[in-house]
Amino acid sequence: MSRFSPRRTIRQGLAATLAAQATTVAALLFVDSRRKRDRPSRRLPRVEPHDVPVPGGDLRIYTSGESLFDDMLADIDAATHRVFFESYIWKGDEIGHAFRDALVRAHERGVEVFVAFDEFANLVVPRSFFAGLPDGIHVKRHPLLGRFPFVTPRQSGRNHRKLLVVDSRAAYLGGYNVGSLYADRWRDTHARVSGEMVVELANAFVDYWNVAPGRCSPHLEHPDSRTWSSTMRVHRNIPTDMVYPIRNMYLEAIDRADERILLTAAYFIPDDVLTRALVEAARRGVDVRILVPHFSNHVVADWLSRRSYTELLSGGVRILRYENAMVHAKTATIDGRWTTLGTANIDRLSLAGNYEINLEILDADVAAQMEEVFAADALNSTEITLAQWVERPFVSRLAEGLLSPYRPLL
């Protein structure tokens, strides 16, 4: 008989656990691929964009990529001085070519054009697509790996931002990447800002351009004049500076809620502190509703998200799951007064890892429109109750448990 070896037993246990986790992921990916193939195409509910006056300018909220891309392209075509364009994903398809062509036209008529995109997110885009940008358009490629990426988190964050600034007239930010898929098959939220906040978003681009990993030539000067708006603020996660204000912005707003919290999250993997804040709000009588995709484009993220559902539902939080399409929005509105929208998901990668940008707005009219957007999305959603959740199959519980150790990574 062989002698008992604790080390060998631990190694065998770890190997078995890893094998079970790998098998679970493979099964989820297989089932998800079949589901996506069979999912019917349908027109998604939307709220038509219109300008909402805010102190110092206007704000326009988009829930349709078609309308958004048309307006973004029109603003680029109207540019006379400078364009800052930044996108996490920039597809080399029909919509992607339309943006590239508009930027080239702007450059050819003498407009300064600065472009930033993430190399990792665009690995599948042909290199010839980006090679089509002529010399004279300034390009910053956020590198696959910064210096010493596994030693310091300062160099490991992706550029997950989506930002367009045209002259001093208009700026756009939100969840929409650039590509045909996002025009009509995904539900997302984006905003166009005009007026005094444009300079703040221009400043955010300049800061990223000058300090983030990757080529940053030429050096950009900061705007001469900034604003002290009491209505809107720009919050930016900057890994190189180890600054992550967006998570605290959410926590502060949730803690102040008296009546209702309406939160939409593409990837909802809250940490213990955020989960506790939402449950505490519900227990003091706040109507807390969280809208997530029933099935997102990252099935493993979906299953990691579910690990928090029992605690949330038990605490009185309501969970709505968006059906038959990917909802990619990253928004929240509270008490008919406070709103945020931008690029940050409710997960570790966004709140303590990547370059992100969110707009915080204190305005009742903007909040009213965001509540209208949430209500429209809710019509395309199904609510899951605590009673339904506790009765889910054992195999689902097992998969959640096997994958849960990876929650801190995402």
Please tell me the CATH code under which domain 245-409 is placed.
3.30.870.10
Q: What is the mean pLDDT of residues 319-335?
A: 96
Q: What is the mean pLDDT of residues 181-192?
A: 95
**Rg, C-alpha atoms of the chain:** 22
Looking at the chain, the whole-number percentage of residues with pLDDT higher than 70 is 83
Question: Could you tell me which residues are beta bridge partners of residue 178?
Answer: 90
Which residues of the chain does CATH 3.30.870.10 include?
A: 51-229, 245-409
Q: How confident is the model at residue 156 (pLDDT cuts 50, 70, 90)?
A: confident
Q: Is the dihedral of CA 259, 265, 268, 271 positive or negative?
A: negative
Say if residue 127's pLDDT is above 60.
yes
Predicted local confidence at residue 24, as pLDDT: 55
Closest CA to 58 of 171, 173, 206: 171
Predicted local confidence at residue 29, as pLDDT: 52
Say if residue 323's pLDDT is above 70.
yes
255-314 tens-digit pLDDT: 999 999 999 999 999 999 999 999 999 999 999 999 999 987 777 777 788 889 999 999
Who wins on pLDDT, 107 or 224?
Answer: 107
86-115 tens-digit pLDDT: 999 999 999 999 999 999 999 999 999 999
Predicted local confidence at residue 405, as pLDDT: 65
Read off the tokens for 17. 């656990």
Q: Is the dihedral of CA 232, 370, 237, 85 positive or negative?
A: negative
Are residues 205 and 87 in contact, defined by beta-carbon separation less than 8 angstroms? no
Say if residue 35's pLDDT is above 80.
no
353-407 tens-digit pLDDT: 999 999 999 999 999 999 999 999 999 999 999 999 888 776 777 666 666 666 7
Preceding omega of 218 cis (within 30 degrees of 0): yes
pTM for this entry: 0.91
The CATH homologous superfamily for domain 51-229 is Endonuclease Chain A (3.30.870.10)
Closest CA to 311 of 282, 291, 332: 282
Predicted local confidence at residue 28, as pLDDT: 46
